[in-house]
Structure 1
């Protein structure tokens, strides 16, 4: 056989091997999400790829049969075809005992490099660039090859399955998509510029609804404005004028005796109809949704959807009211920086490049976003920044008490009846070894 015929045969073997290489990577690496979208658009080839991925044993067996058979045949043909020409060329310069060995080694290296480059490396890199597109192109020829070698593939798979059973290896592929998978996709989209920063933040907040509990977004007990049954009309008028709320709780004597709520729209209707301005009775008081403080924001959304309500009273395990939350509060949590609050309502105020003033009731998740802190220790023991300070200090804080975490100093600057009202947060150049400290005079007073 002449050299040209040998080279043509080697070229055919390289093309066949490259087909198996590119098919192996593309069909195994094609993403199910994109394939399902292609299938929904009417591409039948996508359905074939999905079915092949679910029953991949015959495919992998066929792929390995083709790759190994072609590699062995290519080595045999290539070495035999090129060796005489290499020996003749080297013989012009060297006629010693090592001539045959040199010719064999050189021809082997040349053939091996050709197969590595053009039958393995380059096809696989092409398949990795766009696996779905390549998979659609090779699926039909690959299915035909699988049918041709099915008896041999069945025999190989039988031995492989027996080996898996002996060593108790689970061969079921796990294809479930977790929150971490989705989060990684979103992060990758943001880094690639597909998602803008605000959109990325918005999507993250939506996912956090499953983790954040109701207290992280509610109006705390001390800030809830409510009416009592015995309250005078003048007092009610003043509260409606002072607070821009559309709904107010109605309690019997104190906040823990919740009866329902009134909508200022109903009061406006009464005024327009020349009726009594305020009449807190069964006809004007609406039923209010009562929820435990252990619910997540996602669960609360379901409660709002089922009850058709937009306001809920949050109680703890002792049936005491701990706060009030509305549908708008949840939307504010989701929208984050897209909604700009009034200046007096800001919980996090940036003073300069290295310091912030933060309200004690600010949810930990908001602090993490504002300061770019990955995590807080034992976060399930508290909901707010004040809770974090108390948890770390293990005592009721006093002004000037502080703790350090992730290179930030959290210092208490204002206390209101044992409640941490405001903190000064400062970025440090280098975090100290002690992560939780307090002033020396405070230590002395504790021992007195």
Structure 2
């Protein structure tokens, strides 16, 4: 029984080393930092081991190797011999009993070593990496100091092998945006965050990648006041607009004076005071259309009025951007802010295809249907994506094919694509191709 107990202890010790190895390596350093700042015992030691993974892994490997050798030698010589003697007593020939006893012991010890000494500890370490890392770190630190000379030799030898392979430098540890998206998706799947929270986080990530041109209200949709047009024209704009702030121009949008508060002008009209748009205009910041949306958010915080005028590189007025535009990029448009006649941005149809608004941000469309977009692109909407793929404005009923998806133009408002029907090519081509005037243009 003592021999069996020794073997079991060695197997459990092997499991402790395996658990320690995976727990420290897979523990997130950000969590360990937070736990160390909170005074969690062992967290600082776990961080120290994680900072030098080479020496730590060398120490663990020394322990696992020694335990494996001892377990194999002890089980073969002690347990194997005892089992062979027992089998001989049952009447088996010595020539059969000795290899059979040794083989059975090796098989049993190997099985226990794999399950108890490797798989179960490693699975446990993956489930509770940070907590177990803190628990085992003090003991592993002591063992690392004891085995420091041998550990240094093994670590240096490993570095030499990497240099010979041309990979001397360790890769920089960093979290990519894809890693963050995957982490958020996993948090949603496990119930750690709600679906609405995941969508908002995805919106923040999208906003960080958008230029202001991708979130602004374009020039053609901006309600503005002409300081040279007279009170009647200003009154007409004020009574039809739903916006609380309006830009003021001197004869055209190319000569913007600033921004006025609609309620101040309406109050003046109610008491019969004359309108002085130039005097009422407040200075608004001017931002280039290539500026990052998040940088513009900081500009709006510091501005006298929460509205910025967007100009291109030639100084031409391109549109306006407000905090509402940036908020909608994160949480979506509010129904009360929608223009009359605006429908949902995306509607899933019974056949699995999508009816999309042309003004839908192209990164949201790509995320919705699983489309790969180039890093550098000049378009920011689904309509712009189709125009770029077609190379022109397609007529109603025409379609373009891109990455296995078919984008059919189903409605045009003036010279702007208003609605798109999007679906996998195999599901959507056949019925649409029979329409008069319908065609396919490869993108």
Aligned to 1:373: 369
Aligned to 1:413: 411
Following TM superposition, by how much is the alpha carbon of 1:424 offset from its aligned partner in structure 2, in angstroms? 4.4
CA separation of 1:409 and 1:171: change in aligned 2, threshold 3 A: closer
Q: Assess if the C-alpha contact under 8 Å between 1:61 and 1:153 holds in 2.
A: yes
CA separation of 1:438 and 1:308: change in aligned 2, threshold 3 A: farther
| Structure 1: stretches of 5+ with no match in the other structure | 444-448
Following TM superposition, by how much is the alpha carbon of 1:415 offset from its aligned partner in structure 2, in angstroms? 4.2
For each residue in 1:215-269, what CA deviation from the matched residue of structure 2 results, as whole angstroms up to 9, or x when unmatched?
A: 3222221111212222121221121111111111211222222222222243256
SS at match of 2:210: coil
CA separation of 1:423 and 1:15: change in aligned 2, threshold 3 A: closer
CA separation of 1:229 and 1:193: change in aligned 2, threshold 3 A: same
Aligned to 2:317: 321
Aligned to 1:222: 220
Q: Assess if the C-alpha contact under 8 Å between 1:403 and 1:438 holds in 2.
A: no
Q: Which of 137, 140, 148 is the equivalent residue of 2:138?
A: 140
Q: Assess if the C-alpha contact under 8 Å between 1:79 and 1:111 holds in 2.
A: no
What is the number of equivalent residue pairs in this alignment? 433
Q: Assess if the C-alpha contact under 8 Å between 1:22 and 1:123 holds in 2.
A: yes
Aligned to 2:385: 388
Q: Which of 14, 18, 25 is the equivalent residue of 1:17?
A: 14
Aligned to 1:37: 34
CA separation of 1:124 and 1:352: change in aligned 2, threshold 3 A: closer
For each residue in 1:378-406, what CA deviation from the matched residue of structure 2 results, as whole angstroms up to 9, or x when unmatched?
A: 57131222222222222233233223455
SS at match of 1:210: helix
| Structure 2: stretches of 5+ with no match in the other structure | none
Q: Assess if the C-alpha contact under 8 Å between 1:190 and 1:197 holds in 2.
A: yes
Following TM superposition, by how much is the alpha carbon of 1:299 offset from its aligned partner in structure 2, in angstroms? 2.1
1:433-444 equivalences under 5 Å are: none
Q: Does 1:263 align with 2:230?
A: no
Following TM superposition, by how much is the alpha carbon of 1:201 offset from its aligned partner in structure 2, in angstroms? 0.8
SS at match of 2:360: coil
* TM-score calculated relative to the size of structure 1: 0.86
Following TM superposition, by how much is the alpha carbon of 1:75 offset from its aligned partner in structure 2, in angstroms? 0.9
CA distance in 1, matches of 2:234, 2:305: 23
Following TM superposition, by how much is the alpha carbon of 1:170 offset from its aligned partner in structure 2, in angstroms? 2.9
CA distance in 2, matches of 1:210, 1:57: 36
* TM-score calculated relative to the size of structure 2: 0.87
1:33-182 equivalences under 5 Å are: 33-91=30-88, 92-95=90-93, 97-172=95-170, 174-182=172-180
Aligned to 2:283: 287
CA separation of 1:301 and 1:76: change in aligned 2, threshold 3 A: same
Aligned to 2:189: 191
SS at match of 2:280: coil
For each residue in 1:268-324, what CA deviation from the matched residue of structure 2 results, as whole angstroms up to 9, or x when unmatched?
A: 56457x57230123x322122222221221121122234354111222233222222
SS at match of 1:76: helix
CA separation of 1:362 and 1:143: change in aligned 2, threshold 3 A: closer
For each residue in 1:190-219, what CA deviation from the matched residue of structure 2 results, as whole angstroms up to 9, or x when unmatched?
A: 111222222111110011112122232222
Following TM superposition, by how much is the alpha carbon of 1:116 offset from its aligned partner in structure 2, in angstroms? 2.4
